[in-house]
Structure 1
């Protein structure tokens, strides 16, 4: 039985006694409250310092007791998280595989794995390929009541297939797409200034989607750590109350 249907059946008294697996049968996937794929932009628009701020921001979030307290309040009390970087249409790197987080100790181990992960920069920005890659990661050992992709970045899609196609396919699978748009206060070259839509508008209109989807806007890279912490706490909340479509974080 899929984890998403568990609570509906339980409340209706429709659950039978669990079956005992016969020798050689595959073990059922482990239930968690949320499967959360963290997708981190490492395109050339990210300087080495900005990339480091992203990695440190995610690591700090999983060391924060407010996050682990939020996980503990879930119906199951655990989430599954993975962490990958993305850039060109053919460049996605899973740096921390699916990990069960159920408290401070496992959160700290996940943070340490992010700290130890290699920092590599690439060229283009393929949000569509990042969504496709994230969608392929779900259902690997864990089954959440929700599947969420957390996409952070500072640019628009400029590589790979049309973003709208990848987004539509993910939404058809029931995957929620949340965004973390980082507003770089360095103005673009004059020849591109009129061609680039405001990033927060772009992420709101073209990237996010699905049940409960929202956008967190970091007003500059110094605001990233606070933005990612607030965003993940909201993402892992059990039965999250309706919140603003767009939130903003300041340094």
Structure 2
């Protein structure tokens, strides 16, 4: 009866009919949500920013607000994993899938994140991060009422193939993608950054039922942004609409037919390479 009611609730927030969910595994652990955190560690980010990210997620996961929303869930626990990513073949599992249903669970997860801090890696392949992330849901030992990828990043895709086909393949599996665009200016890769990275993420990266973007424009607000994002993802809610803010124009931003050019990162990379090569 519990399983039937859980599946009924899941249908209310199911992905579009085209999405194909994995078949139910009777040997898996049922959770409210399977949440994969994909965290950008490309070299455009400074060592300080990399540490802020790890500590920010650790702080958010152990906060009363996040633990309360986990406890208020239908089943009262979630499955979560933390992966750092950069270029096409640069995905680093910091914490594989684990259950969080208590403060002790959250603190153990957080301890893994802050026990050491890794260095950055080259390039930015959102497409590869999404594809490898989707594979992590397969046979992970959990059955969630929802499956969510939470991806952060400080620039557009510039490696590993276009981002839109990768995004669409993930959405076809019934996985929702939310975004945390990092629109700060501390790192070294200003030539790769977009002034309107939140719009790039909205048009080119996120998707699925209830998907949303929460931009970070100052590292001082990172932990609170992550906390808010986790609460919404775990509870299955979306943020209130934010007022539009002005955006400065960016190289090759708009396509001829209107909308956002989702290949802007690849074009910036090609422009940089053409100017760099003798």
TM-score (ref. length: structure 2): 0.75
Kindly indicate whether the alpha-carbon contact (under 8 Å) linking 2:34 and 2:80 is maintained by their aligned counterparts in 1: yes
Higher strand share: 1
- For structure 2, which runs of at least 5 residues remain unmatched after alignment? 12-24, 245-278
Q: Is the 8 A contact 2:32 2:78 kept in 1?
A: yes
In structure 2, what is the equivalent of residue 76 of structure 1? Answer: 75
Match of 2:223 in 1: 225
Q: Displacement, 1:107?
A: 0.7
1:200-224: CA deviation from partner (whole Å, max 9, x where unpaired): 1111111111001000111122211
Alignment correspondent of 2:240: 244
| RMSD of equivalent CA atoms | 2.8
Deviation >4 Å, runs of 4+ = 186-190, 245-248
After TM superposition, give the deviation of residue 5 of structure 1 in Å. Answer: 7.6
Partners of 1:69 and 1:29 lie apart in 2 by: 24
Shift of 1:120: 2.1
> Is the contact between residue 44 and residue 189 of structure 2 (CA under 8 Å) also seen in structure 1?
no
Equivalent residues of 1:214, 1:245 under 8 A apart: no
Determine the C-alpha separation between the residues in 2 that align with 1:30 and 1:102: 13
Aligned partners of 1:119 and 1:169: how far apart in 2? 30
User: Shift of residue 247 of structure 1?
Assistant: 8.9
Contact 1:215–1:247 (8 Å) recurs in 2: no
Aligned residue number for residue 161 of structure 1: 161
CA contact (8 A) 1:34 1:79 kept: yes
Q: Note the alpha carbon deviations across 1:11-47, whole angstroms, 9 max, x for none.
A: 9xxxxxxxxxxxxxx9610000000000010001110
CA deviation vs aligned residue, 1:132-155 (integer Å, no higher than 9, x gap): 111001140111011100001111
Contact 1:217 1:247 in 2 (8 A): no
Equivalenced residues, count:
229
- Tell me the secondary structure at the aligned position of residue 177 of structure 2: strand
CA drift at 1:243: 3.2
Question: Helix, strand or coil for the counterpart of 1:215?
Answer: coil
The answer to whether the Cα contact below 8 Å between 1:125 and 1:158 also exists between their aligned partners in 2 is yes
Q: Distance in 2 between matches of 1:127 and 1:210?
A: 17
Q: Secondary structure at the match of 1:174?
A: coil
Q: Distance in 2 between matches of 1:174 and 1:130?
A: 17
Aligned partner of 1:204 among 202, 205, 224: 202
Whole-Å separation in 2 of the counterparts to 1:208 and 1:218: 16
* TM-score, normalised by the number of residues in structure 1: 0.83
Distance 2:88 2:10 in 1: 43
Check conservation: 1:4, 1:145, Cα contact below 8 A. Answer: no
**Structure 1 residues 165, 27: CA separation in 2 closer, same or farther (over 3 Å shift)?**
same
